[in-house]
Chains A and B, each alone.
Chain A
Amino acid sequence: MKKIIILFFTYLILHSNLNALIKVDITRGNLDPLPIAVSPLHVESASENLESLDTKKLGLNISSIIEKNFKSTGLFNPLKREAFVQKPDIAHLKPRFEDWRLIKAQALVTGKLSVKNNKLKVEFRLWDLTASKEMIALSFTTTPSNWRRVAHIISDKIYERLTGEEGYFDTRIIYVAESGPKNQRVKKLAIMDQDGAKTKYLTLGNELVLTPRFNPSNQMVTYLSYFRNLPRVYLLDIETGKQEVVGNFPGMTFAPRFSPDGKKIIMSFAKDGNSDIFTMDLETRKVERITEHSSIDTSPSYSPDGKYICFNSDRSGLQQIYVMRSDGSNVKRITFGNGIYGTPVWSPRGDLIAFTKVRKGKFYIGVMRSDGTGERLLTENFYQEAPSWSPNGRVLVFYRETKSGAQGKGFSAKLWSIDITGYNERKIKTETDASDPSWSSLLSK
């Protein structure tokens, strides 16, 4: 992972205009997506062609990724290229604003790139067509194989400039790739870019693996593996492939997550029919008990400041969500609605907790404030669970399973995403069936 971060930002903010007129409001549903034109990046004629890369197509490929990213937000409406009137290189120098307004675009992205001495240099500009002004101009230099990341970083910069929120395109999702019949699923850890590209399988499928989660620097993953038929929490270094068991527990450990500083893993340990929450410090190896109750306590998740933990427990009789201080004190139940509640996950912004709710045979993904008030159910389905937050706290990714017929016919598991406004529900394309998604933080932060 580290090697991809050899990405040089040359912030060439030429003249950033802070009084732009166009702004995208993302606090509400997208009733009126912003029409945006993404002009294909101009490829400079002196560019070298590389063995692994057709440089001539790179401009078009990068702008296609940017368009796809924008479309996936539901906040932007990328316009069809056929309607574009100006050539990319000329538009990049100075667009004829009236021409672009004619096709009803309100924002325009232009750019150019060159490949020389095995270095990719990309430059782009965002134009406010209403105010006829440049909003942002940046250039990057990186290795050519990083071209997809460049497209995602450009998307992030534009998203940030237009919405005032941090972007989430230069991110990855780790998940469980599934195949085979329902009663004998083969499960592998898989990792891919947020847009479904560059899928890589991290385990072979010889043993059952579940619930992978990134550490804050996205270099480590903690997950549950049934290696040697002993279900235990593991730690995996994505770069080196090195795996190790977390702690030395005389029984099943499961439901792992990292603390926000990445120093601890919090998880459940089941013994003699009772599951409690424990942490282990990865450096000192010190194990600490956090809950002690005869009920099932599981699915722990820290608040982003590390001061609190939310989890679910059936201590009231049915599965409900609780919040406590990170030392286990001051346990408070926060869900009292009809139905059962599980898989609480604290938003990276700290204000909301996402959860799964089951009521009258239906599964819901919802959000509520961290004190349990303001519950909003975003989506209802036959089976869905395990939400994970985009790093900017605006989008949730989760998995959904279909109802199956005899012998598991028609069964499938797929990843979906939805805005916390409840709009823009989307299936995420994966090479195989997929479950247990976990969203990384921004890679280039």
Chain B
Amino acid sequence: MKFNKNLRNIFLILFATLALSACSTAKKSQTSGDVYTGSDTVEYLASGVKDRVFFATNKSSLTSASRETLRKQATYLRKNKKLNVTVEGHADERGTREFNLALGERRANAVKDYLMTYGISGKRISVISYGKERPVNSESTPLAWSQNRRSVTVKVK
């Protein structure tokens, strides 16, 4: 009987551990590869039009989710012909400063190029790289870094 009780306790602990680790996986799944897929830091250009897309470490390629966001931005820009935008390119803090400046520029241009393929004139889009200088999440964690590897489309006032 006592042995059974012990066994039951062990199972309970095991179950609790499993449940906990399931929780932490749920949190981790805010990134895919190491591209941020959550929406904690995301702001909107207009209703339903996200202002930013996220990148993998050292990469500037657009994920399918990013392309979807950018198509919505393009639609919005087509509807608002007088609106000009600046695309800000950013990097996480895990690279050297100068290389990050170049990487941010490359990311911002990847976004600009994509918007242009959807009919937005390059003249309406300026780019600027901030490298690692302007993190959106200042914490030193893989999640924060994934939120910082981003391009943000900002309206020019």
> A residues bordering B, Cβ < 8 Å?
181-185, 208, 210-211, 224, 229, 231, 251-252, 254-255, 268, 270, 272-275, 296, 298-299, 312, 314, 318-319, 342-343, 356, 358, 361, 382-383, 385-386, 401, 403-408, 411, 435-436
Contact = CB atoms under 8 A, between A and B. Distances in A.
A299 to B, nearest CB: 5
Contacts, number: 106
Given A183-B134, A185-B133, A273-B109, A404 B98 contact: no
A231 B139 contact: no
A272 B138 contact: no
Contacts of A361: 94
B99 A273 contact: no
B31 interface: no
A343 B93 CA distance: 15
Nearest to A181: B138
B95 to A, nearest CB: 7
Interface in B71-93: 93
Contacts of A296: 99, 102-103, 106
Contact of B96 (A185, A270, A274, A385): A385
Contacts of B134: 183-184
A183 B136 contact: yes
B109 A254 contact: no
A298 B138 CA distance: 26
A182 B138 contact: yes
B60 interface: yes
A339 B113 CA distance: 31
A314 B138 CA distance: 27
B34 to A, nearest CB: 12
Q: How large is the interface on B (under 10, 10 to 19, 20 to 34, 35 or more residues)?
A: 20 to 34
A270 B105 contact: yes
B99 A274 contact: no
Q: Ordered nearest first, which 3 A-B pairs have the shortest CB separation?
A: A408-B138, A273-B109, A342-B96
Interface string B88-123: 000001111111011101101110010000000000
Given A183-B135, A273-B110, A314-B58, A211 B102 contact: no
B113 to A, nearest CB: 7
A411 B134 CA distance: 14
Given A274-B106, A408-B139, A252 B129 contact: yes
A12 B8 CA distance: 91
B49 interface: no
Interface in B114-157: 128-129, 133-140
Contacts of B93: 383, 401
Contacts of B95: 319, 342, 358
A38 to B, nearest CB: 39
9 contacts: A183-B137, A210-B97, A231-B129, A254-B101, A270-B102, A273-B110, A275-B102, A312-B96, A411-B140
Q: Name the residue among B93, B94, B99, B105 with the largest chain A CB count within 10 angstroms.
A: B99
Contacts of A318: 58
A210 B128 CA distance: 15
B138 A268 contact: no
A163 B34 CA distance: 51
A211 B98 contact: yes
Contacts of B60: 273
A383 B92 CA distance: 12
Contacts of A403: 140
B101 A342 contact: no
Contact of A270 (B94, B113, B129, B136): B129
A222 B11 CA distance: 66
Contacts of B94: 358, 361, 383
Given A274-B106, A404-B139, A408-B138, A252 B96 contact: no
Contacts of A298: 98-99, 101-102
Nearest to B134: A183
Given A296-B106, A385-B97, 5 more contacts: A183-B134, A252-B128, A298-B98, A298-B101, A342-B99
A273 B105 contact: yes
Contacts of B110: 273
A299 B106 CA distance: 16
A309 to B, nearest CB: 15
